[in-house]
């Protein structure tokens, strides 16, 4: 019997358009599977509408801030409404690349060397210039500049010199008050999907071949922007290491239900870049493509996510109900 499910989509993050694409795909799959689905845009009326609809589950199709960072999860916990994916803490940790990388390092999961700076500490150009020299010494050249809490490669640039760094830092600060400077590792970009709760399974390693220098926003979401190869063209031992690191990174953050872990495979080794707690579900997205390579069609994948999410919300630690 079908369930009443609200697809929470849109929002106001820099990834709003991707969220709408993801939400549409999920909504269509839910309707195909016989569920009573309703689209809900994340605005000031969203919570009232979700409560009025008396849904069995909220399928979170949001990306970026105010959706993938634990804020929406916290609100739904307070409302005592089940939702898909990870809870508050894992969502917040996955969104904050700096804290996530510190956890990876603590758990002995390879991740590129990194430094971080905040807007309040580096408001003037002279300080940024001094920091560029420090970063070049510690991270090598080129290195990567990215906002700490954004996804879909928004605000990311690879810099080779001081001029490029100053421009990239200022652009990254437009998206976040903190930015991450990361060692650039030349290699194959790959990703591993994870599905499950207590005993999660890993999908085949998928290789991403961007048409440009790196897998940026355009490469992710433009037709022909990148080529995806499953399984990745890496050795058996490298594939095993990718899947091991992906599962360990997923578990290190406390992720539940599903995630997608992005990695770089170089001659020196395998490195985890980040964990996406709400992977994209558009027609160009990596997670459903990797699931399909494992024999899981999109509609079946949606059903598994629903089942695992209801299981997690039922057995996991719940917020005490505020109802009388």
CATH for the 93-109+185-310 domain, from 3.40.190.10, 3.40.50.300, 3.10.580.10, 3.30.470.20: 3.30.470.20
Q: Comparing 282 with 212, which gets the higher pLDDT?
A: 282
Q: Which residues are catalytic?
A: 15, 152, 221, 260, 262, 274, 276, 280
Question: What pLDDT shows up at residue 201?
Answer: 96
Fold of the domain spanning 4-84? Rossmann fold (3.40.50)
Least-confidence region, from 8-12, 188-192, 213-217: 213-217
pTM: 0.89
Q: What confidence tier does 175 reach under pLDDT thresholds 50, 70, 90?
A: confident
For the stretch 239-296, pLDDT in tens is 999 999 999 999 999 999 999 999 999 999 999 999 999 999 988 899 999 999 999 9
User: Is 90 exceeded by the pLDDT of residue 220?
Assistant: no
Question: What pLDDT shows up at residue 119?
Answer: 87
Q: Comparing 217 with 65, which gets the higher pLDDT?
A: 65
Question: What pLDDT shows up at residue 316?
Answer: 61
Helices 298-315 and 16-32, interaxial angle, to 10°?
100
Q: What confidence tier does 221 reach under pLDDT thresholds 50, 70, 90?
A: very low
Mean pLDDT of the chain: 90
- Is residue 5 within 8 Å of 57, Cβ to Cβ? yes
The mean pLDDT value for 203-221 works out to 72
What are the domain boundaries of the chain? 4-84, 93-109+185-310, 114-183
Q: What is the DSSP string of 27-86?
A: HHHHHHTT-EEEEEESSTTHHHHHHHHT-SEEEE---STTTSSSHHHHHHHHHT--BSS-
114-183 maps to CATH 3.30.1490.20: yes
């Amino acid at each position: 019997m079908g369930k009443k499910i609200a697809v929470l989509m849109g929002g106001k993050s820099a990834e709003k358009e991707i969220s709408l694409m993801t939400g549409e795909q999920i909504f269509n799959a839910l309707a195909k599977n016989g569920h009573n689905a309703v689209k809900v845009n994340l605005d000031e009326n969203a919570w009232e509408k979700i409560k009025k609809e008396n849904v069995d589950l909220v399928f979170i199709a949001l990306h970026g801030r105010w959706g993938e960072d634990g804020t929406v999860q916290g609100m739904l916990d307070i409302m005592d409404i089940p939702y898909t994916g990870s809870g508050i803490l894992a969502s917040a940790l996955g969104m904050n690349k700096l804290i996530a990388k510190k956890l990876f390092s603590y758990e002995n999961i390879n991740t590129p060397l990194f430094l971080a700076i905040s807007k309040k500490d580096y408001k003037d150009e002279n300080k940024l210039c001094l920091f560029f020299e420090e970063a070049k010494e510690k991270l090598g050249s080129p290195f990567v500049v990215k906002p700490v809490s954004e996804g879909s490669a928004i605000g990311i640039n690879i810099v080779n010199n001081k001029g490029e760094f100053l421009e990239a830092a200022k652009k990254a600060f437009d998206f976040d008050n903190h930015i991450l400077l990361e060692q650039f590792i030349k290699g194959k970009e790959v990703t591993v999907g994870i599905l499950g709760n207590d005993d999660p399974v890993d999908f085949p390693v998928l290789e991403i071949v961007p048409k440009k220098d790196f897998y940026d926003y355009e490469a992710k979401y433009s037709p022909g922007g990148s080529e995806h190869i499953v399984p990745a063209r890496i050795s058996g031992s490298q594939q095993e290491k990718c899947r091991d690191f992906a599962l360990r990174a997923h578990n290190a953050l406390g992720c539940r239900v599903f995630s997608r872990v992005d990695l770089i495979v170089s001659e020196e080794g395998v490195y985890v870049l980040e964990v996406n707690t709400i992977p994209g579900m558009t027609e160009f997205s990596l997670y459903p493509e990797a699931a399909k390579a494992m024999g899981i069609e999109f509609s079946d994948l949606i059903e598994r996510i629903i089942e695992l999410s209801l299981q997690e919300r039922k057995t996991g630690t719940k917020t005490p109900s505020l109802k009388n």
